[in-house]
Amino acid sequence: MAAKTSPKKEFRVLSATAILGYGFPESSFREGMKRRPDLIGVDAGSSDPGPYYLGAGKSFTDRSAVKRDLRFMLTAGVRRGVPVVIGTAGGSGARPHVDWCEAIIREIAAEEKLTFKMGIIYADIPKARVRRHLRKGEIVPLTCVPPLTEAVLDESVNIVAQMGVEPIQKALAAGCQVVLAGRCYDPAVFAALPISLGYDPGLAIHMGKILECAAIAATPGSGADCAFGRLRPDSFVLEALNPARRFTKLSTAAHTLYEKSDPYHLPGPGGELDLTGCSFTELPGGKVEVRGSRHVETERYWVKLEGVRRVGFRTIAVAGTRDPIMIREIGPILAGVEAQVRDLLKAEAVEGRITFHVYGKDGVMGALEPEHRIRGHELGIVIEAVGPTQAAADSVCSLTRSTLLHFGYPGRISTAGNLALPFSPSDARMGEVFEFSIYHLMPLARPADFPARVVTVRG
Q: What is the CATH number of the domain that holds 353?
A: 3.30.70.600
Write out the DSSP string of 239-254. EESSTT-B--HHHHHH
**What 3-state class would DSSP assign to 371?**
coil
Looking at the domain assignment, is residue 145 inside a domain? no
Cα Rg of the chain, angstroms: 25
Among 344, 339, 335, 379, CA closest to 360: 379
Instruction: Kindly state whether residues 353 and 237 are assigned to the same domain.
Output: no
- Per-residue pLDDT tens digits for 148-167: 999 999 999 999 999 999 99
Do 365 and 332 belong to one domain? yes
Mean pLDDT of 136-140: 97
The reply to whether 404 falls in a domain is yes
Position 60 pLDDT exceeds 60: yes
**CA atoms in the 13 A half-sphere facing the CB of 366:** 5
Cβ atoms within 10 Å of 351's Cβ, excluding its own: 15
State the pLDDT at residue 263: 83
The pLDDT of residue 456 is 97
- Residue 151: inside a domain, yes or no? no
CA quadruple 146, 147, 151, 152: dihedral sign: positive
Please report the pLDDT score of residue 5 as a whole number: 56
C-beta separation of 10 from 39 below 8 A:
no
Whether 170 and 282 share a structural domain: yes
Asked if residue 207 has pLDDT above 70, the reply is yes
Bridge partners (DSSP) listed for residue 117: 456
Whether 137 is in a domain gets the answer: no
Q: Report how far apart the first and last C-alpha atoms of the chain are (Å, whole number).
A: 34
- Collect all residues with Cβ–Cβ distance below 8 Å to 61 and sequence separation of at least 6: 19, 20, 21, 22, 44, 91
Same-domain status, 187 and 254: yes
With a cut of 80, say whether residue 88 has pLDDT above it.
Answer: yes
Q: Which of 191-205, 290-304, 336-350, 381-395 shows the lowest mean pLDDT across its residues? A: 336-350
Residues 296 and 329 reside in one and the same domain: no
Residue 129 has pLDDT above 80, yes or no: yes
pLDDT at 89 over 90: yes
Share of the chain above pLDDT 70, in %: 99
User: Is 225 contained in some domain?
Assistant: yes
Q: What is the DSSP letter of 144?
A: T
* Secondary structure element (H or E) that encloses residue 353, with its range: strand 353-359
Burial status of residue 167 (CB atoms within 10 A of its CB: 0-12, 13-18, 19 or more) = buried
Can you name the residues that pair with 418 across neighbouring β-strands? none
Judge if 427 and 317 occupy the same domain: yes
What's the total number of domains in the chain?
Answer: 2
Give the mean model confidence (pLDDT) for residues 433-445: 97
Residue 415 has pLDDT above 80, yes or no: no
* Helix, coil or strand: residue 55: helix
Q: Say what the pTM is.
A: 0.93
Would you state the pLDDT for residue 256? 84
392 CB neighbour count, 10 Å cutoff: 20
- Whether 297 and 405 map to the same domain: the answer is no
In which band, very low, low, confident or very high, does the pLDDT at 43 lie, cut at 50, 70 and 90?
very high
| Mean pLDDT value of segment 246-272 | 89
pLDDT score of 262: 85
Structural domain includes residue 200: yes
Is 144 inside any structural domain? no
Is 345 in the same domain as 406? yes
Range of the domain at 448: 11-123+162-301+444-457
Three-class SS state of 187: coil
Distances (CA, A) of 303 to 1, 123, 143, 372, 440: 14, 11, 15, 41, 8
∠ CA 138-143-146, rounded to 5°: 65
- The number of angstroms, rounded, from the C-alpha of 163 to the middle of its chain's C-alpha atoms is 15
DSSP summary character for residue 124: B
Chain centre to alpha carbon of residue 270: 21
Which has the minimum average pLDDT: 13-17, 26-30, 363-367, 379-383?
Answer: 363-367
Nearest partner of 210 among 182, 237, 245, 175, judged by Cα: 237
The residue length of the chain stands at: 459
Report the 10 Å Cβ neighbour count for 301: 18
| Residue 432 phi, psi dihedral angles, 5° rounding | -65, 150
- 331: helix, coil or strand? helix
296 part of a folded domain? yes
Q: Does pLDDT of 51 surpass 60?
A: yes
Task: Work out the mean pLDDT of the chain and round it to a whole number.
Answer: 95
Q: Indicate whether 403 pLDDT > 60.
A: yes
- Whether the Cβ atoms of residue 93 and residue 99 lie closer than 8 Å to each other: no
What is the rounded distance in angstroms from the CA atom of residue 354 to the CA atom of residue 142? 29
- pLDDT at residue 4 above 60? no
**Mean pLDDT value across residues 242-261:** 90
Q: Give the model's pLDDT for residue 1.
A: 64
List pLDDT tens digits, range 343-375.
Answer: 999 888 889 999 999 999 999 999 999 999 999
Contact 307, 437 (CB under 8 A): yes
Whether cis (ω within 30° of 0) applies to the bond prior to 220 is: yes
Same domain? 357 vs 391: yes
Nearest CA to 35 among 6, 21, 15, 8? 15
383 versus 416: the higher-pLDDT residue is 383
Q: Are residues 105 and 212 in the same domain?
A: yes
Written as one string, the DSSP assignment of 395-442 is HHHHHHHHHHHT---TT---SS-SSB--SSS-EEEEEEEEEEEEEEEE
Q: Are 228 and 168 found together in one domain?
A: yes
Band of the pLDDT at 6, cuts 50, 70, 90? Answer: low
Amino acid code (one letter) for 231: L
Determine the pLDDT at residue 2. 55
**C-alpha distances in Å from residue 365, one per residue of 10, 357, 361, 368, 369:** 45, 10, 9, 5, 5
* Beta strand pairing call for 235-240 and 427-443: unpaired
- Same domain, yes or no: 319 and 177: no
